[in-house]
Amino acid sequence: MASKATPDNGSWMGSRLPRREDLRLVTGQGKYISDIVLPRMAHAVFVRSDYAHAKIVSIDTSAALALPGVISVTTGADIVDEMRSMPQPVLLPNLPAKYPTFYPLSVDKVKFHGAPVALVIARDKYTAEDAVELVEVEYEELPAVVDPNAALEPGAPLVNEDHPDNEIFSMTFTGGETQAEQDENDKAVEEIFNSADAVIKETFRVHRTGLTPMEPRGVLCDWSESDGLTAWITTQRPHIDRLALVDLLDIPAERVRVIAPRDQGGAFGIKAPFYRENVIIAHMARKLGQPVRWIESRYESLMNVGQERDQINTLEVAATKDGKLLALRNRGVADNGTGETGVYWGFLMPFLGAHEIPNTYTWDKADIKLRVAVTNKACLTPSRAFGHFPTRFAIERGIDIIAHKIGMEPADVRRKNLIPELPYTSVTGGYYDSGDFLKVWDNLMSHVDLANFREEQAKARESGRYIGIGFGTGVELSGMASEVLVPMENQPGYGAASIRLDPRGTVQIFGGDAPGGQGHETSVAQVVASAFGIKPEDTLTTTGDTATTPFGAGTIGARGASYFMSAVHNACVELKNKIVRILAHDLGISAQPDDFEFSNGEVVLRSDSSVKKTFREIVERIIMHPINMPDGEVGGLEATVFFEAAKPMICFNADLCIVDVNIDNGEFKITRWVSSEDVGNVINPLIVDGQMQGAIAQGLSNTMFEEFIYDDQGQQLTADFENYKIATAADLPNIDVTYAPTPCPHTPMGTRGIGEGRPSSVPGALCNAICDALKPFGIEITELPVRPNAIWKKIQEARS
């Protein structure tokens, strides 16, 4: 993209404007949750379970309570009569599932290693940590359920005893609503498989991994008898958290204010659920009558959150001998963990993953079924590429495996089967609104000479060097329409923004979503400055405070440029129309909104540029001097606008990866990575580049390094960054992000929400490249993470 530091034709849209957030962040002036300090603030530290599954026999808190500086020690038994249990309706999806009942602290038994057992509150954190060591918990160990397939066996020990078995959720995604329709569909799929030229069947395992924001979670609560609760929470959805606190703690709704700090150190989905820690900290602030703060340690974070993926998908693909994909069948099993997390409950991610298996390809028929098992592990929490990282790995590998089987170039199989025209409804009912998949694909392929690469590859093999090329594609959500989000999460999908013009000609913007580093303040400034013809620095955006912002479901699912920015834009249009009506009245002319141009701080009549007012003059007139107004018009310039798209929207991307594999030790090096993106019309290319770079790197780190490991007793062995390895700068390649955009027809600016699902095409592309390099050995990778030792082992097996 061309670099533009100044506006083009008065518009800041598409400008590579350096971010407004940065000045405070590069000078250490950011205000994250752990930087907020209140008078008399006490510090909370949790006592967490040493066992994966055990009865709590007794808890002796006396020694901890006797330590000077300790204010309280609370156990599960202490709170069951003081608050409602989860779930509450606001935290429940509209999907039938065996939702566990639970409290913020474990009651009677612990269900995973790291589960909260007691809460110590002390005057300072050092004392609180000392006191945690003095809490004596006696456990009686129960058999731990650590394997999802074993969990689903009849007679398996129960994780959640309020339900008859460990299957929290199951679903058939294809064929229709009724059993008869589904059976008929399954039969039709079977017939295709029976008569197809080529079929493949593989089981793909994706390990437990996810994302770990550099800032762990935190909660700070303050209680006032007159005003109620103020809760600062690291969260992507402050308005939902507020309703949950209202319902769980029985506080009148108007007396709960949730503030997501303006600076949050990354989120990626981890800060989207409603967590049990929020409830107990709020409760204790109320009970003690003093502010209480909990800042999660990295150890706690890695024990409790950021764990996703963790699916086993047995995939079958049927195709013709010339590479036309016919049908797919998938049986997924997901390891849910306990299910004790509000909003998502663990299974919502594999649910969406199964729904997204067909991906960017056309299929005549599909048969897709999913079973999700609760286990004695931390509950899955959403992580960017929500649920479909494992299913995309399966389908993108599946495409290459069938291509190998029929002897076709994998790139050709992809192009032949990409959805050629949109809108399109997938075999699972997913609605893809717009875009041009072939254009994005062809742009990707224009960055490599494939025929030449194949020659080079053949020559390299002769000299004992193994290079390979791999591809992956992904169709991702661009925000979530209410049509999708109401059934899925029981929440509205609309975007919301309030705009307040100041008599001084500047603009305040209020958004209910809560970003975690995506640069909303800059993008909003560009949208507003373009709309009013003012400078980005003449705007200020507030997000995340439920007392001042309109209701929003949160910064989730790539809702920024799709929903929130569209609401911002439409609110600006509403106010511009009012300005034009009053200005035309003052001038004694009749005019339509488009007859005036807002640019360079002026409102100018297009047909006669001598007829104009400064933006500040006309704004000040309407707010401060609302006399001599047109009939029916009153003063003031503020608007709250809700944006709902007519249809669910998507964005599309494709990846190309070239690797060099050392067959002597299995080590591989990514020598090239190119992406091609349909991001619609772009507000700030710098920010979009950053989102793509980051998402692809996250996908690579998940694929190659990160892994949460539990032993067969359910002990979590990876609760620090020494053992849970995240990619460093030296581990990753340079990434070329390229674009082939198509404006979205369903947003007012043609923008698409981007970045959320972006890591999902990465594991397929990388593993396809490695398998392509090792094609002479016939190696097919079906398991992640992909590490040199596993590749070396496969080479040894193939050689013997």
Partner 1 sequence: MKNIRVNINGVAYQETVPVRMLLVDFIRETAALTGTHVSCTYEGVCGACTIHLDGEAVKSCLMLAVQADGHEITTVEGLANGKELSALQQAFNDQHGLQCGFCTAGILMNMTEFLDKNPDPTDDEIRHGLVGNLCRCTGYVHIVNAVRAAAKSRLSEA
Name the site residues for partner 1 (rule: CB under 8 A): 18-19, 21-23, 25-32, 34-35, 37, 126, 211-216, 263-268, 297-299, 516-519, 686-687, 689-690, 693-698, 720-722, 726, 728-730, 732, 734-735
Q: In terms of Cα–Cα distance, which of 236, 263, 199 is closest to 32?
A: 263
Q: Toward partner 1, which CB reaches closer, 95 or 726? A: 726
Smallest separation, CB 67 to partner 1 (Å): 15
In this structure, the number of other CB atoms found within 10 A of the CB of residue 47 comes to 25
The angle formed by the CA atoms of residues 593, 595 and 599, to the nearest 5 degrees, is: 90
Q: Toward partner 1, which CB reaches closer, 654 or 771? A: 654
Distance of CA 723 to the CA centre of its chain: 24
Backbone dihedral angles phi then psi of residue 35, each to the nearest 5 degrees: -95, -5
Smallest separation, CB 211 to partner 1 (Å): 7
Tokens 């300072």 locate to 124
Q: Toward partner 1, which CB reaches closer, 376 or 523? A: 523
Smallest separation, CB 121 to partner 1 (Å): 18
Smallest separation, CB 125 to partner 1 (Å): 8
Q: Toward partner 1, which CB reaches closer, 693 or 713? A: 693
Q: Toward partner 1, which CB reaches closer, 467 or 692? A: 692
Q: Toward partner 1, which CB reaches closer, 29 or 614? A: 29
Q: Toward partner 1, which CB reaches closer, 338 or 555? A: 555
Q: Toward partner 1, which CB reaches closer, 25 or 547? A: 25
How far apart, in whole angstroms, are the C-alpha atoms of residue 477 and residue 388? 11
Q: 364 with 386: CB under 8 angstroms?
A: no
Tokens 């959403």 locate to 382
- For 482, counting Cβ atoms within 10 Å of its Cβ (0-12 exposed, 13-18 middle, 19+ buried), the class is middle
Q: 528 with 539: CB under 8 angstroms?
A: yes
Q: Toward partner 1, which CB reaches closer, 75 or 684? A: 684
Smallest separation, CB 592 to partner 1 (Å): 39
Tokens 């070396």 locate to 792
Smallest separation, CB 731 to partner 1 (Å): 8
Smallest separation, CB 109 to partner 1 (Å): 27
| Beta strands, E only, 83-197 | 109-110, 116-122, 136-141, 167-172
**H/E segment holding residue 200:** strand 198-209
Q: Which three-class secondary structure state does DSSP give residue 765? A: helix
Smallest separation, CB 261 to partner 1 (Å): 11
> Largest alpha-carbon pair distance within the chain?
92
**What are the tokens at 477?**
């959500």
Q: Toward partner 1, which CB reaches closer, 177 or 722? A: 722
Residues 6+ apart with CB under 8 A from 246: 252, 253, 256
How far apart, in whole angstroms, are the C-alpha atoms of residue 287 and residue 44? 14
Q: Which three-class secondary structure state does DSSP give residue 361? A: strand
What one-letter code names the amino acid at 624? Answer: M
Q: Toward partner 1, which CB reaches closer, 634 or 730? A: 730
Q: Toward partner 1, which CB reaches closer, 421 or 722? A: 722
Q: 746 with 566: CB under 8 angstroms?
A: no
**What are the tokens at 543?**
């997000």
Smallest separation, CB 268 to partner 1 (Å): 7
Q: 234 with 218: CB under 8 angstroms?
A: yes
Q: Toward partner 1, which CB reaches closer, 493 or 516? A: 516
Q: 379 with 346: CB under 8 angstroms?
A: yes
Q: Toward partner 1, which CB reaches closer, 18 or 505? A: 18
Q: In terms of Cα–Cα distance, which of 385, 472, 391 is closest to 767?
A: 472
**What are the tokens at 668?**
């591989």
Smallest separation, CB 734 to partner 1 (Å): 6
Pairing of strands 507-511, 539-543: parallel
How far apart, in whole angstroms, are the C-alpha atoms of residue 501 and residue 527? 14
Smallest separation, CB 31 to partner 1 (Å): 8
List alpha helices for 472-608, DSSP H. 482-489, 520-532, 565-587
Q: Toward partner 1, which CB reaches closer, 107 or 737? A: 737
Smallest separation, CB 782 to partner 1 (Å): 26
Q: Toward partner 1, which CB reaches closer, 298 or 647? A: 298
How far apart, in whole angstroms, are the C-alpha atoms of residue 129 and residue 231? 23
Smallest separation, CB 212 to partner 1 (Å): 6
How far apart, in whole angstroms, are the C-alpha atoms of residue 561 and residue 579? 26
Tokens 């039709």 locate to 188
DSSP letters spanning 5-58: SS-BTTB-TT--PPPSTHHHHHTT----GGG---TT-EEEEEEE-SSSSEEEEE
Smallest separation, CB 347 to partner 1 (Å): 25
Smallest separation, CB 390 to partner 1 (Å): 20
Smallest separation, CB 180 to partner 1 (Å): 48
Q: 627 with 729: CB under 8 angstroms?
A: no
Tokens 């599960």 locate to 76
Q: Toward partner 1, which CB reaches closer, 733 or 788? A: 733
Smallest separation, CB 40 to partner 1 (Å): 15
How far apart, in whole angstroms, are the C-alpha atoms of residue 15 and residue 527? 11
Q: 693 with 675: CB under 8 angstroms?
A: no
Q: What percentage of the chain's residues is helix, strand, coil (to nearest 5)?
A: 35, 25, 40
Distance of CA 480 to the CA centre of its chain: 12
